[in-house]
């Protein structure tokens, strides 16, 4: 149980276009979802936290107009990178917290490698 599916696993887009990444909890209700960014050989940095039905809370330095996060249901959160540029190329990982589990349990998606050309 507690599976998080992230899609797509890899995406290449042209500079200036937008790309959407989906994060789904397959067998549980995700009250909170987290979006992280990981540069090569570096750690995971929290970008934003989203709760179902409310606006996402962004970390300092993360542009909310560039990284649009929507958490419209208890099983789906999306991250849209708008007007992507090469510097947005990175590995994006979502994680979800389950309603019925310990608040500190985080279940991770498999990540999305974004390349902007």
Residue closer to other proteins by CB (options 17, 73) is 73
Dump the DSSP string for 21-71.
Answer: EEEEESSS-EEEEEEEEE-TTS-EEEEEEEETTSPPEEPTT--TTTEEEEE
Residue closer to other proteins by CB (options 53, 104) is 104
Nearest distance, CB of residue 62 and other proteins, angstroms: 12
Nearest distance, CB of residue 27 and other proteins, angstroms: 17
Residue closer to other proteins by CB (options 22, 59) is 59
Nearest distance, CB of residue 16 and other proteins, angstroms: 27
Nearest distance, CB of residue 59 and other proteins, angstroms: 8
Q: Which residue(s) pair with 50 in the sheet?
A: 33
Q: Quick check: 22 and 50 in contact, CB under 8 A? A: no
List interacting residues with other proteins (CB under 8 A): 32, 34, 38, 42-46, 49, 51, 57, 59, 91, 93, 95, 97, 103-104, 106, 108, 110-111
How distant, in Å, are the alpha carbons of 2, 32, 57, 61, 100 from that of 28? Answer: 6, 12, 22, 31, 8
């Amino acid at each position: 149980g507690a599976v998080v599916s992230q899609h797509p696993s890899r995406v290449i887009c042209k500079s200036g276009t937008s790309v959407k990444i989906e994060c789904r909890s397959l067998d549980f209700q995700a009250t909170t979802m987290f979006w992280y960014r990981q540069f090569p050989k570096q750690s995971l940095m929290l970008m934003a936290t989203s709760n179902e039905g409310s606006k996402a809370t962004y970390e300092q330095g993360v542009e909310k107009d560039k990284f649009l996060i929507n958490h419209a249901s208890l099983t789906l959160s999306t991250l849209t990178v708008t007007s992507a540029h090469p510097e947005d190329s990175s590995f994006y990982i979502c994680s979800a917290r389950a309603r019925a589990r310990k608040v500190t349990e985080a279940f991770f998606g498999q990540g999305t490698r974004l390349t902007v050309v």
